[in-house]
């Protein structure tokens, strides 16, 4: 007998009606994933700190038929994260999918960078992820729910160092990788899949400094990145969507604890 996934393989990517929460929804990755999930019929709770940009993304999602609510808030505390989960549950009855797209970077060589700047990167990229994971996992486990998908955004910099003043960013993404793996092992018994997407340099607000002609550090970082990319170009937000849909859909039910590199071949050589 031929199984249903083999007869209808596209059904593996069905997320129609699934309640999904996206943090960093106004960023390049969050926006792209939000619009794609809306097109596929997921029910979205979009979260971002910049309300004007957040509402713009929400309108784009609605323009492709998405059902969307917004929360103008950042995951700066566990109270923030719990409030986001609560809002998603109140609106849609549950929270099944979560894409943690919020993040931050401020480059600086360690002998020049203030501790506060380093800590801000760690807070945004590690502490915020931990808050969101804790709030999500607590709600599902306490309600004895099986299944669920969590996708974090890591980076090739969680695996490779960078000479361009990345002690904060590289350290935070290495921590994100390990948080992904530990949660996958911890939550496997509850059927919750936890994975991370690790891009290389993508065009976004976060990497805008690399495109500033007057920023010598940025230009050097950009050229060095391009020299390591076999595909010969930087990434665009759309390049990440396919992997995100895979990891948020039933297609990835037997994939957990993985760092999925979407990097133009950066880590291959």
User: Domain locations in the chain?
Assistant: 16-264
What pLDDT, on a 0 to 100 scale, did the predictor assign at position 93?
96
| pLDDT above 80 for 186 | yes
| pLDDT above 80 for 145 | yes
| pLDDT above 80 for 31 | yes
The single residue of 92, 136, 166, 169 carrying the catalytic annotation is 169
| Size of the chain, expressed as the number of residues it contains | 269
| pLDDT above 80 for 210 | no
pLDDT in tens, 59-73: 999 999 999 999 999
Helix (H, G, I), strand (E, B) or coil at 114: coil
Residues 135-158, mean pLDDT to the nearest whole number? 95
pLDDT in tens, 33-60: 999 999 999 999 999 999 999 999 999 9
pTM of the shown model: 0.92
Q: How far apart (Å, rounded) are the C-alpha atoms in residues 120 and 116? A: 6
Helix (H, G, I), strand (E, B) or coil at 246: helix
Residue 107: pLDDT band with limits 50, 70, 90: confident
What pLDDT, on a 0 to 100 scale, did the predictor assign at position 205?
79
Residue 261: pLDDT band with limits 50, 70, 90: very high
Q: How far apart (Å, rounded) are the C-alpha atoms in residues 44 and 84? A: 12
Q: Which CATH architecture has domain 16-264?
A: 3-Layer(aba) Sandwich (3.40)
Residues 19-24, mean pLDDT to the nearest whole number? 97
Residue 206: pLDDT band with limits 50, 70, 90: confident
Alpha-carbon torsion, ordered 268, 128, 192, 37, to 10 deg = -80
Q: Any catalytic annotation for residue 169?
A: yes
């Amino acid at each position: 007998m031929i199984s249903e996934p083999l007869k209808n393989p596209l059904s593996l990517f069905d997320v129609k009606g699934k309640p999904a929460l996206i943090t960093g929804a106004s960023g390049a990755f969050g926006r792209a994933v939000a619009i794609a999930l809306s097109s596929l019929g997921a029910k979205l709770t979009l979260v971002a700190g910049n309300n004007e940009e957040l509402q713009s993304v929400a309108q784009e999602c609605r323009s492709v038929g998405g059902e969307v609510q917004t929360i103008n808030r950042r995951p700066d505390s566990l109270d923030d994260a719990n409030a986001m989960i609560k809002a998603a549950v109140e609106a849609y009855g549950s929270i099944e999918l979560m894409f943690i797209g919020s993040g931050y970077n401020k480059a600086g060589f360690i002998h020049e960078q203030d501790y506060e700047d380093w800590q801000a990167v760690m807070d945004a990229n590690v502490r915020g992820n931990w808050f969101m994971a804790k709030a999500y996992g607590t709600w599902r486990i306490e309600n004895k729910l099986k299944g669920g998908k969590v996708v974090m955004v890591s980076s090739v910099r969680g695996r490779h160092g960078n000479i361009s003043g990345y002690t904060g960013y590289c350290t935070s993404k290495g921590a994100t990788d390990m948080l992904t793996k530990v949660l996958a092992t911890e939550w496997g018994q509850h059927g919750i899949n936890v994975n991370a997407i690790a891009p290389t340099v993508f065009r976004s607000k976060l990497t805008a400094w690399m495109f500033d002609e007057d920023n010598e550090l940025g230009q050097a970082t950009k050229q060095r990145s391009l020299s390591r990319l076999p595909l010969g170009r930087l990434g665009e937000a759309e390049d990440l969507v396919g992997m995100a849909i895979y990891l948020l859909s039933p297609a990835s039910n037997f994939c957990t604890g993985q760092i999925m590199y979407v990097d133009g071949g950066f880590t291959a050589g």
